[in-house]
Chains A and B, each alone.
Chain A
Amino acid sequence: MKTQSSIEESDHRSDENGRRNFLKICSVVLTSLIGIAYAIPLIRAFISPAMQDTVTGASGLFDIGNINDCEVNVPRKVSIKGAKMDAWNKFPPTALGAVWMVMDKDKKFTVFSSICPHLGCGVDWDEASGRFVCPCHESYFNIKGSVLSGPSPRKLDTLETEIKQGKLFVKYQKMKLGISEKIPV
């Protein structure tokens, strides 16, 4: 009698264990399925700005002024103004950045982005020493944009220009920082 009942009990127990294992597997699988089903749209929404142009308008040709206003070898700072789309907002023309325009004695124009290629501070022209200087980490550049000293990994970024009807236009774009090559962002 006694053995009979204990056999039954252990049968019953292994049945129970089998059932519980099945429930465990089902629970884990179903929970994972919900998790995956929910994670997909959430992740898509989260990464969507990385796959879209969220800030636009800061490209194209910008009018930076009359070529006759320039003096030979005196860099002139001009701010770039444009209407900007920023995610949901459309802003009326505002400053997007600045450039330095330089005219050499052959009346050839070079336009530098005012952003230091090192870490993105605004480069200034030092009248006294005749050099461009970055106020943050003391990178120095000559009037042709080449590095004289300091941590900048490359020369000042030149931007494409175009002269139309006596006006200088520049294709304003931002470059990747901190690397030795000039690559647009």
Chain B
Amino acid sequence: MKKWLEDRTGIKDLFNKLMDEPVEGGAKWSYVFGSALVFVFIMQIVSGVILATCYSASTTDAWGSVYYIQHKTFSGWFVRGMHNVGSSAMIVLAVLHMAQTLIFGAYRKPRELNWISGVFMLFIILGFGLTGYLLPWDQKGYWATQVATSIMGLVPGIGEFLQGVIQGGNDYGNLTLTRFYSFHVFFLPAGLMMFMAIHIYLFRRHGVTPHWKPGELELKKKTQPFWPDQLFKDVIVAVIVFVSMVAVVWYRGGAELQSPADPSSNYIARPEWYFLFLFQLLKYFEGELEVVGAIIIPSIVAFLIIALPFIDRARDRSPLRRLPVMGFSGVFLAGLISLTIMSSISDSGNERIIKQKEESEKMAHVAVELAEHGIPPQGGTSVFSNDPLYSGEQLFRQHCIVCHSFEGVGGNSAPDLTAYNSKPWLIGFMQDPNAPKYYGSTKISIMPEYDLEKEDLSNLVEFLLAQADQDKEIDPDLKETGEMILEENGCYNCHAYGGNGGDTAPVLDNFASDKWLRGLIEDPGQKEYFGLVNDMPAYKDKLSKQEIDNIVYFLQSLRKKSH
């Protein structure tokens, strides 16, 4: 069987050829970073393919599908977490790999192209990070990526065109996602694999760059085969990398998913940690100079990195003989690190940012809770607007508590709406309608204080509360009692009920029902409500019908809760 397969495929032969590479000077721990990168890349491919089985690249579906991966599939949160932390691992390992190359002088003649292909791969890895960040279409990715594509727009001459090509048109939308997705899963992997093939081929052609001290003879003597001597070390490192990645994912509970991208919000855009230095750099260039920090400096640095093998003219490979290169690289790395640290310090010291971060964490949490009931086809953000309770409260806080007070906050020129139209609220109201908590600070002062018998008061309130339930027939006994109380106390002088009564005070039919409240909010100046004494603005042109319904829903839910 083995021989049959070998005769036809030569698979063992191929394996031997690939694996029996002589490592001059012997296997070393310092050579492990390249294969560690290959290892993480393979893990990224596998987890990426699995994520792609559930991901949907459209502005209405992206957030929902990632929410589904994160919260509904088995282990989806873990797979996504590994994919997310894998991107950081790639960056860390790539930097270590480059540092090792720098110290050993492995970029020097004849390995210039090894270096250059490696630098291109670093850029591709950064491209993976950038494109992947947007795909969940959450607040974080949406706003941070805007910064990146806007920077592309600054490129002199072709900027606008370039931005249009990358983001797929004049603004963020479906095409931005389909493109970023395509870049992330087709263009960039293809590019990375191509350069990886070149890189490994060139590496095999030139062999490892051993330590600079031992002479050639000594190196030859110590030569070991790649398999298993070096590969064993590589495997150990792979285990360490894998276990650390799992630990990070476990500790952080997987990757973060912020609330759905909302173009109307003022979310604080922050890129992934490995882009923070670029982000910080932007802060130092104001106005017209923006392009210097955003494009010119990064381009010059990128060019210098690529050109390093041609810049370094030292005669010896020993780092001590290449002090200028070592020094510059050290300063450059220190610069990157300090920019990154400065960025995070300035954020962690800013109270406004900390508060906004907490706020967005809360929003993310609410979004996930609301998504539990299914996400409307309009997309992620509609979980908020379609949830009457959530949207009702937002609208209420935005529009109503300017004048009304509510649970200890808000204005004081209109009645307190805490537990509005609940039993205690109504009892208090009957006892003193002109107290500051009720209509004391409005134009309305016509309603007298009623000193009702305890039983009558309770019956009246019950009667009024029964009006709120539109769909249920009111109990005839209660109706009779109520009408009698209205009659005895002269309520009909101003209020109307069942077609009788005055029209200078709100109608009591269906009092505090959804319909009644809706009408009141739409136009409180109507005769059925406050008429001429009304102070409250009409909302029928300011808010949509749905929005008013949501406010009503919110008020009613509070009323029901207080029962």
Contact = CB atoms under 8 A, between A and B. Distances in A.
A, B in one complex: yes
Interface stretch (A45-53, A58-66, A139-147): A45-53
Interface residues of A, number: 29
A23 B232 contact: yes
A27 B374 contact: no
A37 B242 contact: yes
Contacts of B79: 41-42, 45
Contacts of B68: 87-88
B374 A44 contact: no
Given A23-B232, A27-B232, A90 B46 contact: no
Contacts of A20: 225, 228-229
A40 B506 CA distance: 66
A38 B74 contact: no
Given A90-B374, A90-B376, A31 B235 contact: yes
A85 B377 CA distance: 10
A42 B43 CA distance: 10
A27 to B, nearest CB: 5
B9 interface: no
A47 B54 CA distance: 11
Interface stretch (B59-67, B140-148, B336-344, B545-553): B59-67
A88 to B, nearest CB: 3
Contact of A23 (B67, B73, B74, B228): B228
Contacts of B371: 88
Nearest to A20: B228
B50 interface: yes
A31 B231 CA distance: 11
Contact of A41 (B78, B228, B373, B376): B78
A34 interface: yes
B: contact size bracket: 35 or more
**B-side binding surface: helix, strand, loop or mixed?**
helix
Given A26-B232, A27-B231, A38 B46 contact: yes
Given A23-B232, A30-B235, A90 B373 contact: yes
Nearest to B39: A34
A87 B62 CA distance: 12
Contacts of B36: none
Contacts of B225: 20
A31 B236 CA distance: 9
Given A88-B65, A88-B371, A90-B375, A42 B47 contact: yes
A27 B235 contact: yes
A37 B243 CA distance: 10
B76 interface: yes
Interface string B40-61: 0001001100100110000001
A46 B231 CA distance: 31
A34 B46 CA distance: 13
B95 interface: no
Interface in A60-113: 85, 87-92
Contacts of A49: 54, 73
Interface string B4-36: 000000000000000000000000000000000
Contacts of B92: none
A52 B72 contact: yes
A27 B239 CA distance: 10
Given A27-B231, A41-B79, A89-B374, A34 B239 contact: yes
A31 B239 CA distance: 8
Nearest to A51: B74
B170 interface: no
A24 interface: yes
A33 B242 CA distance: 11
Nearest to B236: A30
A32 to B, nearest CB: 10
B228 A24 contact: yes
A130 B64 CA distance: 47
B232 A48 contact: no
Given A30-B235, A89-B374, A89-B377, A38 B242 contact: yes
Contacts of B67: 88
9 contacts: A20-B228, A23-B229, A30-B236, A34-B238, A34-B239, A38-B46, A45-B75, A88-B64, A90-B376
Given A27-B232, A52-B73, 9 more contacts: A26-B235, A34-B239, A38-B242, A40-B75, A44-B74, A47-B74, A88-B68, A88-B72, A90-B375
Smallest CB-CB A-B distances: 9 pairs: A90-B374, A88-B64, A41-B75, A23-B228, A48-B73, A23-B232, A44-B74, A48-B74, A88-B68
Interface of B: 43, 46-47, 50, 53-54, 61, 64-65, 67-69, 72-76, 78-79, 82, 225, 227-229, 231-232, 235-236, 238-239, 242, 246, 371, 373-377
